[in-house]
Structure 1
Amino acid sequence: MTVKNMTKKQIQIFFERLREQRPHPETELNYSSPFELLVAVTLSAQATDISVNKATDKLFPIANTPEAIYALGVEGLKTYIKTIGLYNSKAENVIKACKILIKKHHSQVPDNRADLEALPGVGRKTANVVLNTAFGQPTMAVDTHIFRVGNRTGLAVGKNVIEVEQRLIKVIPKEFILDSHHWLILHGRYCCIARKPKCHECIVSDVCNWPDRFDFGAARPIKVHHIDEMG
């Protein structure tokens, strides 16, 4: 069953509510520089932010520059990130990326998509996160949470992440676009969760178009009966 797209009015209310709930949303990954963010996001693929933070909280005090992490080598880096899923391939990608940053970018993280996506282990989603969070660009990194929220609510219905990303960039008002990535992730992570969404406590359930939301406790709209006063 296809969910109908939200109207402009619904979208405006949707983001006004999310902004009121979290005026200054931030990523839950721990970082203090664009490079730390790049490493953390690379490590977060198919892993939780909590597991990444546990690893980087030990790694970054020891090595938090391309030169320092490159000096660790693949095996040295693995000792810090071995609790994270796919750590073998991630360690290799991070070391290769560090080498490129040192040789081609003066150890600085690029602020453009082409150079970011040329780094090993960096795909479109990772690039979007870095461009948005580190450089303040209006990009939209569509992960599983945002893909679910977009399709479920009718905010951005699409068959794949690219379709959802393009739809979101098109329909989200400019005043919300910079922080919308974080609002949507956090809403999907803590409220509009996959199996048992918390529609009963959702602050945007009244502008959501998901037909099943009432089965999960969303308040039904009150029907107003007009009384004929003639006679």
Structure 2
Amino acid sequence: MKKPLWILIGIIIIIVFILVSIFLFKYEDVTDDADHIKNIEEEHIKDEDNGTAYIKDTGDKEEMMMNIIAMEDSKEHLERVLQLFPDVDFDKIENSYGEGSVLKILEWLSKQDIQKEEDIILLINMMDDFYREEYSKLIEIIANSYLRDKIIFIKALTKIPNKTKQVAYVLHDFRTYDKSDQDLFNDLEMIVNSKELTNEERNIGVELLSSYSECGT
């Protein structure tokens, strides 16, 4: 066989090898992509089954809120619930989900760790929207927020100073300082000497506890 023919055969073999390599490389990429997509889909299904990943927004705020509090990991969605709170029609919830549904929401909320100033302000501003058992549960939530972090609570209250006396009544109704581990005079001293509070915030804190004391007279 002539030399040029061997060269031609060699070139053809090299070309075939390159084409096969390219094909296998692309096939591997496609397979990897397919596996990746499959894994994502499986994770999404798993998350949806566990109720952890997605909250379908149907445009119905009441339905969304009830769906959230029914989820096993609903604590992760506390912020979303509080965002919905001012816009939810609680009468609609009672009519759609049965008597006691609003109380169920508040009971769920009472088990959450509410520490952000804006969340405390939101709850204080909604005190007049609830009655009887629902009101009692809401003031429990507010009072527990106070007990959890009094400095943050006072900072929040300073932004709505017109609510100070009303909050004092709430704390009194909850018998906050009847608890064995709470001391009003120690807290008053803590507020006056706190370096975390501004003068305005200290004044609101003092007014809060003074108003609390007046509730018992």
TM-score by length of 2: 0.24
Larger Rg: 2
TM-score of the aligned structures, taking structure 1 as reference length: 0.23
The structure whose residues are more often helix, as a share, is: 2
